[in-house]
Amino acid sequence: MKKYILPVMTTFLLVSCNKIEEKIDQTVQETTEKVQQKAQQAVEETVKKTVNESINSLTNSQDAKFNEVFPTTGSTIVTEEKGKRIKIPGRPEGYIFKYKADITVLLPFLEGQPTSDESKSEKKARKIDGKSIVDKLSFMSKFLPENTFDTSFLEDIKNDKSIEYYKLKRFPNSSTIIYNPKNQTIIQYVEVNK
């Protein structure tokens, strides 16, 4: 009987040691995975915060008025106006305006704006296909920090087939105009090339 007790005890000890070793390995592996996951999450949050801060510091935006860029002759052609002046390093100064206006009044007004170089200017606004504009806006909105601009209008212009798009270059200003005929809302981006 003593012959059997020693091998049985040895086997029992080996099995117990193996189970303890497996439990230790499992605990170490679970802890390592949790630490890696938390580290990755911390890195992602830090990168997002840094990118947002960098873009915010690069994008210097301030309130702007439509008549700062397009002086009027006393008659108001835009209502419910909101505007931002944007300066991005390496790009010309730009303005984004959102307002309500009658497009049949607005376009002739913009076409009649003075130009500093007639050879670089267009006399009439061109109606264009808006797909490339929508694509560019969608792409750019992915990189903007949260709450920089209200991008909810993107869904409207993607889905509404009645939206009209225009381009007009009256040097030094180059305008891209998005017009919703249902509510006469206009979003206009003006790039000033000096």
Q: Per-domain residue ranges for the chain?
A: 1-58, 60-192
Q: Which pLDDT score is estimated for 161?
A: 81
What's the start-to-end Cα distance of the chain, in Å?
103
Summarised one tens digit per residue, pLDDT across range 99-128 is 889 999 999 988 988 888 888 888 898 988
**Residue 39 — very low, low, confident or very high, per pLDDT cuts 50/70/90?**
confident
- What does the pLDDT read at residue 22? 75
CA atoms within 13 A on the CB side of 99: 22
**Spatial separation of the C-alpha atoms in residues 185 and 174, rounded to whole Å:** 19
Rounded to 5°, the CA angle 83-121-89 comes to 45
Rounded to whole angstroms, how far apart are CA atoms 94 and 85?
A: 6
According to DSSP, residue 83 is labeled E
Q: Which residues lie below 8 Å from residue 106, measured CB to CB, with a gap of 6+?
A: 77, 78, 177, 186
Digit-coded pLDDT (tens) for 43-98? 777 766 666 655 555 455 678 888 888 877 556 788 888 888 877 667 778 888 88
Distance between CA 39 and CA 33 in Å, rounded? 10
pLDDT band for position 194 (cuts 50, 70, 90): confident
pTM (2 d.p.) = 0.63
Strands 60-63 and 79-87: antiparallel
CB-CB neighbours of 125 under 10 Å: 19
- Predicted local distance difference test score (pLDDT) of residue 157: 76
pLDDT of residue 107: 92
- pLDDT of res. 51: 60
Check if the beta carbon of residue 127 is closer than 8 Å to that of residue 98: no
Tens digit of each residue's pLDDT (9 = 90 or more) over 136-192: 777 666 655 555 556 666 777 777 788 889 999 988 888 889 998 888 888 888 888
Q: Are 180 and 162 in contact (CB under 8 A)?
A: yes
Peptide bond into 145 cis (omega under 30): no
Query: Residue 10: what pLDDT?
Result: 64
pLDDT of residue 71: 78
Rounded distance, CA 176 to CA 169, Å? Answer: 9
- How high is the pLDDT of residue 148? 53
